[in-house]
Structure 1
Amino acid sequence: MHPFALPATGLTHPPELGAARAARDWLQQFDSTQPLNAQASLLGQINLLNRYRMAAGERLRVIEELRDAVLHAQAGASSRFAGRPLPLSAGERAAFDANQAMWDALATSYLHCLAAALDGDGGVAGQVGLIAHRALSALSQMQLDALRAAHLPPTGYWRRTHACYEAAEKLGAAERKIQDHTLNDERPTSVRAAYVLCVLMHTASPFGLTHRQLRMLYRWLGKWSGKVALLDSAIHQCALPPLMLDLSSDEAIARAAQRESSLRWLVLDEFSHGIRKRLGLLAQGETPVALRLGDELSPAQADRLLRHLHTHCCRGGLTRAEPRRPLQQNASVVVGMLAVQQFLGGGTPALDMVQSASLQVTAATGYLVEEWRILDDSATGLRLGRRIGGDGMRICNGMLLAVRPDNAPQFMLAHTCWVMANGIELQIGIRLLAGTPQPVGLARAPDGEGEHRGHGLLMPAVERIGQPECVALPSGWYRKSRDILLSDGAGRRRVRLVESLERGADFDLARIEPAA
């Protein structure tokens, strides 16, 4: 019995693509211009293939014929859910579920072949490295697309991924060199590198990144994961704390060894050195293209993403500067810059009305006060959760919030640092700003009149934590050294936008000083 969770096979429903020649002929008539239709056709054929009993060698030849068509269809259909706010709409959810089912079916085909190799099937004996790498490649892309939709991979994902690597290790194929054109790298890779890629994508704190950053990170790790050593015993001579893995578990990282654990350790010293070397060269003026980081990022963006990767992957998972405390408490939350402006400008009577009204009524007011559970907190942030199916606004990284825990006297400003769907629960991590937000009018014209007007939220300076006086602006308002006019009930004053402190999805937070 293999730990791959494979479907049972039989001879009752023979697939149309039961041989490599049949697959080639079918692909010649295949319409790949409509990604959703192509995806559905491929998924149906591969599911039939996965439930049909056939020689492992022929199964491998068939799925190799279909693989490029699968990759093309998946790339075309992923735009329907990647980077969308949560919860996903019904259409987005259907596209995401089809995507995950396709990756699962592709991995299952290769795992059928790997199971046959474990059973001594001579028809695939010389292809074990290719088979295991192809399976892990499908699993890693399944993980990537789940992360791009801000979802955790499904239950059983890590048990399957660990089992695939362990099988390759047992068959002596973990270090076999494999060429994979999907990595955009002419250098060969290995089963070990494909497995390490999955683990590092998990440890890189992916839910705080955009779906484009995740795609870039995946490319980088596909090229660099071969620099990570994977050992079956702990060592103490490495400069960085190794990551401990348990191949018998359904978790990416092992927190503690269990009696039946099958432990491995990732040694990240060489991987860390490569990242730090690239950071140094960027600081000296080298371009991302020259460093083979791609042409989609500016030097500053590449620097930030490299630092994020190093911080979260190369410190043994110990990346929190502040400890979190578990809590059993609720919080009232208003989501979005415009909603927060309208809510804070409406005062307490509006809050009472919203809390007792239905979603349809509150939507007409421009804001909704939602109830979230506080899962844990730290000095500057909270982790919140609510049911995905409950009433509430859709939310994404970088949105402005107004938050009031049940034991707090007033609402505070915050912004989302990460968003994640975990089964039936939506979770967010937020960073709080100290002080009471004050609604202010904004104007760009010297006299405060004209078309360039808007509304913002003024935050006071808090010296004890080093927070300067700042203003939350609507997106598009910030420009370094721009003078604007702030107005409230006490009058007007001219200030200068000195520095961007945070650039969110629907707001910019800028440090201000009196204008000259």
Structure 2
Amino acid sequence: MNAVLDKRPVPMKISNLQSGFQILSRLPLANSRQAALEINYFLDSLLQTPPQGEVYLQLLEQTRISLCFIEEELARCYINKALPLGDFEASTFHQVVATWLKAARAYSHCAQMLDSDSDVHAERLALILHRCIFYTGMVIIEHHRARQELPAGVWLNLHGYYASAEEWGIATLPVPDSLDSLGRSSHCTAAYISLLLAELASPYSLSIADISLVRRWVSNWSPLVGMHPAVADEPLPPFVVDLMQDCGLRASSECLQREHLRRLDTSRLVSQLNQVKRQLQQRIPPAQLGLGEDCTAAQCHRLLNRLYKPWCMLRAARRFRRHNASGTSKVSTGFSAMHYHISGKEFQQPEVASIYSRQEFESLFAFRHMLDPTQMLEVRQVQLGFGFDTWEVLDQCANGFRLLRSVVGKKVEPGQLLSICPHDGNSHLLAQVAWLMQEEGGSLIAGIAALPGKPQAVAARGLTYEPGRQDPYHRAFLLPAVPAIGSEQTLILPPGWYRPERLLEVYTENLMQVRLQRLVADGADFERVSFIVV
């Protein structure tokens, strides 16, 4: 009989600080994957053969900086990646999440080993609950950064840790935080509120850079926010925390019982936001305001304006009413495919610049007997790789859609440009991915914001004044002005094309010269620019 051998190492017994510190000092931090294996082995050993309570706690505290460094290195594998995640990316994501949960479980286990008669028992419990909130919160943060659907129960766990701290009267008891770069202390309420504020920021619609800024700001400003039980005779704010529901803040209109409700007092945070916005307008650098050294004033001002209403507990009014819809929409991505579907034909150099690439020449020669310039052949569409992805429409409004894709298709990323043929139309619109999330089963759900106006597929090239040189034309799109909503005419160009006052030649039915004015919007793969005809 062949025996199946378990190749996992047998957990070792760590009975004192010296042996534990020696193991941690040998972690190969330059090799994040090996270090992750070893620190997981270390946590497993503590969980299975726990030392005396005080030793246990000190060893867990000693792991914090190394653990966060290792997990951040591994997270580079899956953050800022198009969805759905690849197998290796998904495997790394699940490994990181499992480690955060294991660290929270180790602290919870450690609490059972502590001497309850100790004079510092309250301080130890506050420290442990703060770490449980932090590590469970990192599970939420990783799902935001990887744009993955939150697993069931994670918010209930957080509510439970906070409710315990509140019940034992230690929710605001200061605890040291070795991860704070300024050496500041924290407490359970601040750690808990920082996660609620991060969830209010609509993280699935934020870039990774903006998510990092939000994390930094909520860490700095969460102590300004108060947490109070809901009082029977007082009106509730628009959003409250229900400690018995598996979600963050929720609409107070949905809450029938007040027993487990908590409301946030953000008045001091509002004052802070207003003060920072005024100082940015006075051209004080973001670094001097504690906003960060890796961000611009324009980025901070844009993000603060976006966060102001949700962080003030104000309900943002919808510009357009959303209503249910059903059907399937055809979606294409990439300039080449979008140009093909919007124009209804293959892109060719205008006759004013008959320059063909070798690939175009070979394609024209190989398929010269098949191509009919008056028809759009399905076989040619497939040959060019310009097929559609099919998305289900969940609901829509005047300027966008909420879509679901439950079948395999092209990868998608937030901010990406795409063309969409709606379920109730027969022509393609240009749109941008406003937010994106991968569900636990692998399906993608996305918010799509339509760009105003019916797009026209055009050709564009930069003007050159070198004698005898003519650059080839590239695919671009022209969006007409829509005065009803105050939208001016714009060009959709490949990324990197925009420079103020740059001159371009744009070929529609006729040739025109335009001067670029300002960058109206941009995304992962395009720039939308206003212009004037010269």
TM-score by length of 2: 0.85
Q: Which amino acid aligns with 2:171?
A: A
- Return the offset for 1:18: 4.8
Return the alpha-carbon distance in structure 2 between the equivalents of residues 473 and 153 of structure 1.
36
- Return the offset for 1:391: 2.2
Q: Could you say which structure has the larger radius of gyration?
A: 2
* Conserved? CA contact 1:342–1:366, under 8 Å: no
Residue 498 of structure 1 corresponds to which residue in structure 2? Answer: 517
Residue 304 of structure 2 corresponds to which residue in structure 1? Answer: 306
Residue 251 of structure 1 corresponds to which residue in structure 2? Answer: 247
Return the alpha-carbon distance in structure 2 between the equivalents of residues 508 and 14 of structure 1.
55
- Return the offset for 1:497: 1.4
Aligned match of 1:212 in 209, 215, 225?
209
The CA deviation string for residues 417-459 of structure 1, in whole angstroms up to 9 with x for no partner, is: 1111122221111111233221111021258962363110111
- Return the offset for 1:132: 1.0
- Return the offset for 1:343: 3.3
Give 3-state SS (helix, strand or coil) of 2:325's partner: strand
* Conserved? CA contact 2:464–2:470, under 8 Å: no
- Return the offset for 1:183: 3.1
Return the alpha-carbon distance in structure 2 between the equivalents of residues 47 and 121 of structure 1.
28
Return the alpha-carbon distance in structure 2 between the equivalents of residues 190 and 217 of structure 1.
19
Return the alpha-carbon distance in structure 1 between the equivalents of residues 437 and 32 of structure 2.
26
Give 3-state SS (helix, strand or coil) of 1:80's partner: coil
Aligned match of 1:456 in 468, 476, 493?
476
- Return the offset for 1:324: 1.9
Return the alpha-carbon distance in structure 2 between the equivalents of residues 47 and 368 of structure 1.
49
Residue 41 of structure 1 corresponds to which residue in structure 2? Answer: 38
Residues 322 and 185 of structure 1: CA distance in aligned 2, closer, same or farther (over 3 Å): farther
Residue 473 of structure 1 corresponds to which residue in structure 2? Answer: 493
Task: State how 1:103-182 maps to structure 2 within 5 Å.
Answer: 103-114=100-111, 124-182=121-179
After TM superposition, the structure 1 stretch with the greater mean CA deviation from structure 2, 301-310 or 97-106, is 301-310
Give 3-state SS (helix, strand or coil) of 1:332's partner: strand
Residue 441 of structure 1 corresponds to which residue in structure 2? Answer: 459
Aligned match of 1:396 in 378, 389, 413?
413
Return the alpha-carbon distance in structure 2 between the equivalents of residues 236 and 508 of structure 1.
52
Residue 375 of structure 1 corresponds to which residue in structure 2? Answer: 394
Return the alpha-carbon distance in structure 1 between the equivalents of residues 304 and 180 of structure 2.
18
- Return the offset for 1:243: 2.9
Task: State how 1:230-241 maps to structure 2 within 5 Å.
Answer: 230-234=227-231, 241=237
Residue 225 of structure 2 corresponds to which residue in structure 1? Answer: 228
Return the alpha-carbon distance in structure 2 between the equivalents of residues 17 and 349 of structure 1.
75
Instruction: Check if 1:431 corresponds to 2:422.
Output: no
Q: Which amino acid aligns with 1:396?
A: E
Return the alpha-carbon distance in structure 2 between the equivalents of residues 351 and 269 of structure 1.
62
Residue 426 of structure 2 corresponds to which residue in structure 1? Answer: 409
Residue 353 of structure 2 corresponds to which residue in structure 1? Answer: none
Q: Which amino acid aligns with 1:400?
A: L
The CA deviation string for residues 181-209 of structure 1, in whole angstroms up to 9 with x for no partner, is: 32323332211000001111111111121
- Return the offset for 1:465: 2.1
Give 3-state SS (helix, strand or coil) of 2:76's partner: helix
The CA deviation string for residues 390-428 of structure 1, in whole angstroms up to 9 with x for no partner, is: 221111111111111121121111011111112222111
Aligned match of 2:338 in 333, 337, 340?
340
Gaps spanning 5+ residues in structure 2: where?
Answer: 1-9, 346-373
- Return the offset for 1:176: 0.7
Aligned match of 1:290 in 264, 283, 288?
288
* Conserved? CA contact 2:11–2:44, under 8 Å: no
Instruction: Check if 1:419 corresponds to 2:417.
Output: no
Give 3-state SS (helix, strand or coil) of 2:219's partner: helix
Gaps spanning 5+ residues in structure 1: where?
Answer: 1-12, 356-361
Return the alpha-carbon distance in structure 2 between the equivalents of residues 98 and 51 of structure 1.
20
* Conserved? CA contact 1:441–1:453, under 8 Å: yes
**How many residue pairs were aligned?**
491
Residues 213 and 434 of structure 1: CA distance in aligned 2, closer, same or farther (over 3 Å): closer
Return the alpha-carbon distance in structure 2 between the equivalents of residues 128 and 322 of structure 1.
49
Residues 100 and 170 of structure 1: CA distance in aligned 2, closer, same or farther (over 3 Å): same
Return the alpha-carbon distance in structure 1 between the equivalents of residues 445 and 525 of structure 2.
19
- Return the offset for 1:352: 4.1
Sequence identity (%) = 26
Task: State how 1:314-329 maps to structure 2 within 5 Å.
Answer: 314-318=312-316, 320-329=318-327
The CA deviation string for residues 156-182 of structure 1, in whole angstroms up to 9 with x for no partner, is: 110001101111111111011122132
The CA deviation string for residues 229-251 of structure 1, in whole angstroms up to 9 with x for no partner, is: 1001249999x946310111111
Residue 359 of structure 1 corresponds to which residue in structure 2? Answer: none
Return the alpha-carbon distance in structure 2 between the equivalents of residues 257 and 187 of structure 1.
36
Aligned match of 1:27 in 24, 45, 54?
24
Return the alpha-carbon distance in structure 1 between the equivalents of residues 46 and 176 of structure 2.
25
The CA deviation string for residues 290-326 of structure 1, in whole angstroms up to 9 with x for no partner, is: 1111111111111112222223322345453333222
Return the alpha-carbon distance in structure 2 between the equivalents of residues 331 and 299 of structure 1.
39
Return the alpha-carbon distance in structure 1 between the equivalents of residues 227 and 500 of structure 2.
47
Aligned match of 1:89 in 81, 86, 90?
86
Residue 264 of structure 1 corresponds to which residue in structure 2? Answer: 262
Q: Which amino acid aligns with 1:29?
A: R
After TM superposition, the structure 1 stretch with the greater mean CA deviation from structure 2, 122-131 or 222-231, is 122-131
Residue 360 of structure 2 corresponds to which residue in structure 1? Answer: none
- Return the offset for 1:261: 5.4
* Conserved? CA contact 2:65–2:178, under 8 Å: no
Return the alpha-carbon distance in structure 1 between the equivalents of residues 492 and 447 of structure 2.
19
Give 3-state SS (helix, strand or coil) of 1:111's partner: helix
Give 3-state SS (helix, strand or coil) of 2:286's partner: coil
Residues 351 and 104 of structure 1: CA distance in aligned 2, closer, same or farther (over 3 Å): farther
Return the alpha-carbon distance in structure 1 between the equivalents of residues 282 and 148 of structure 2.
38
Q: Which amino acid aligns with 2:241?
A: L
Q: Which amino acid aligns with 1:89?
A: G
Return the alpha-carbon distance in structure 1 between the equivalents of residues 380 and 414 of structure 2.
25
Residues 443 and 44 of structure 1: CA distance in aligned 2, closer, same or farther (over 3 Å): same
Q: Which amino acid aligns with 1:251?
A: C
* Conserved? CA contact 2:15–2:52, under 8 Å: no
Return the alpha-carbon distance in structure 2 between the equivalents of residues 302 and 354 of structure 1.
47
Q: Which amino acid aligns with 1:335?
A: T
Return the alpha-carbon distance in structure 2 between the equivalents of residues 280 and 369 of structure 1.
47
Give 3-state SS (helix, strand or coil) of 2:288's partner: coil
Residue 4 of structure 2 corresponds to which residue in structure 1? Answer: none
TM-score by length of 1: 0.88
Residue 7 of structure 1 corresponds to which residue in structure 2? Answer: none
Return the alpha-carbon distance in structure 1 between the equivalents of residues 506 and 320 of structure 2.
35
Q: Which amino acid aligns with 1:150?
A: R
